[in-house]
Amino acid sequence: MIQGLFVFSLKHTPFWAIPLSIISFQFARIFFAKQMKKIAWFFVLLIFISFSCLSLYLWAGGPEKIVELVKFFFSHWQRSL
């Protein structure tokens, strides 16, 4: 169940990463203006995570390739342990 949800979220990265980035940018801007820096930096972190996931998605080559890349990474990571 969790693996299926993880694969689903990887395949549909643009559909959650872009809106999350836009919403987080708005909240970060509001909280920086209100001098609430810790909360604002949390939203900046969400923007960075979303941008990183989207960049990896595009670098891998799309929905099927990102799943193959992550499965390959985890299989080699488990072998090294």
Which amino acid type is present at position 11?
K
- pTM: predicted TM-score of the whole model, two decimal places: 0.82
Please return the burial class of 11, using the count of CB atoms within 10 Å of its CB with bins 0-12, 13-18 and 19+.
middle
> Of 46, 28, 26, which is closest to residue 37 (Cα–Cα)?
28
pLDDT of residue 6: 87
- Quick: pLDDT tens for 10-48: 999 999 999 999 999 999 999 999 999 999 999 999 999
pLDDT of residue 77: 82
pLDDT at 79 over 90: no
pLDDT of residue 74: 84
Which amino acid type is present at position 8?
F
